[in-house]
């Protein structure tokens, strides 16, 4: 895993979140509080600023900077969740260079922080299925798009959308969507 590639990945992710800011907030309006896009856009652009300033030299350093800025700049529940994800990736990248292990490290921290499991219509549904596809070699950008779309027909049992129960069906989960941007751009940047 190359530091330059990882930085490029996060830059592409930031661009994609920025382009889709309004869409992410629209997804968050019927089943949440409507600020996911604005929060993620603010957090990711702060993340890139910090990476430019501090010029990290290893993937671990990049992940750690990402974690710290997302934690402090996103707010709400997405801040600690994405912050935990990158914190988990930071720790895993100290042990291994393997992308699957690093993403699994991120996912286990999300599970711990959100006290949640895959299948509850959250960002974890994107993470778990992306990791599965990565393992069996079937991961493509199209596949990532499909994965987040599939949260549409799920019923939320965790997160704010869960208070809507049945009414959460028919809406794509905003966190699953922003996570799909993370993985689409990971493929685009050629991170392996």
Partner 1 sequence: MKKIMNQTDDILNEMLEGLSYAYSDLVTRIPETNVIVKKNISGSKVGVVSGGGSGHEPAHAGFVGTGMLSAAVCGEIFTSPTPDQVLEGIKAADDGAGVLLVIKNYSGDVMNFEMAKDLAEMEGIEVETVLVDDDIAVEDSTYTAGRRGVAGTILVHKILGHAAESGKSLAEIKEIGDKLVKEIKTLGVALTGATVPAVGKPGFVLAEDEIEFGVGIHGEPGYRKEKLQSSRKLAEELVGKLKDEFNWKSGDKYGVLVNGLGGTPLMEQFVFMNDVKALLEEDGLVVDFKKVGDVMTSIDMEGLSLTMIHLDTPEWTEALNAPVTTIAW
Query: Is residue 71 close enough to count as binding partner 1 by CB under 8 A?
Result: yes
Binding partner 1 by CB under 8 A: which of 18, 30, 34, 75?
A: 75
Binding partner 1 by CB under 8 A: which of 20, 25, 60, 84?
A: 84
**How does DSSP assign the chain, residue by residue?**
--HHHHHHHHHHHHHHHHHTHHHHHHHHHHHS-S-HHHHHHHHHHHHHHHHHHH---SHHHHHHHHHHHHHHHT-TTHHHHHHHHHHHHHHHHHH---HHHHHHHHHHHHHHHHT--TTSSSHHHHHHHHHHHHHTT---HHHHHHHHHGGGGSPP-SSGGGGGGGGGTTS--HHHHHHHHHHHHHHHTT--
Binding partner 1 by CB under 8 A: which of 56, 59, 83, 105?
A: 83
Query: Is residue 105 close enough to count as binding partner 1 by CB under 8 A?
Result: no
Least distance between partner 1 and beta carbon 174 (Å): 15
Least distance between partner 1 and beta carbon 46 (Å): 12
Query: Is residue 175 close enough to count as binding partner 1 by CB under 8 A?
Result: no
Of the pair 149, 163, the CB lying nearest partner 1 is at 163
Binding partner 1 by CB under 8 A: which of 17, 48, 66, 77?
A: 77
Which residues in this chain contact partner 1 in the complex, by CB under 8 A? 68, 71-77, 79-81, 83-84, 87, 113-114, 159-160, 162-163
């Amino acid at each position: 895993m190359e530091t330059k590639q990882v930085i490029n990945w996060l830059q592409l992710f930031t661009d994609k979140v920025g382009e889709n800011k309004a869409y992410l907030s629209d997804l968050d309006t019927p089943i949440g509080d409507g600020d996911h896009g604005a929060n993620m856009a603010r957090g990711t652009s702060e993340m890139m600023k910090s990476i430019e300033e501090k010029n990290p030299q290893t993937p671990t350093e990049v992940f750690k900077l990402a974690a710290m800025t997302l934690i402090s700049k996103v707010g709400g529940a997405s801040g600690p969740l994405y912050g935990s994800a990158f914190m988990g990736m930071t720790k895993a990248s100290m042990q291994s260079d393997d992308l699957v292990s690093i993403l699994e490290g991120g996912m286990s921290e999300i599970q711990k922080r959100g006290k949640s499991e895959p299948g509850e219509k959250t960002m974890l549904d994107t993470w778990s299925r992306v990791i599965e596809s990565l393992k069996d070699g079937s991961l493509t950008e199209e596949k990532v798009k499909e994965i987040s779309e599939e949260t549409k027909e799920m019923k939320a049992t965790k997160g704010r959308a869960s208070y809507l129960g049945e009414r959460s069906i028919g809406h794509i989960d905003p966190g699953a969507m922003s996570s799909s941007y993370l993985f689409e751009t990971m493929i685009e940047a050629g991170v392996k």
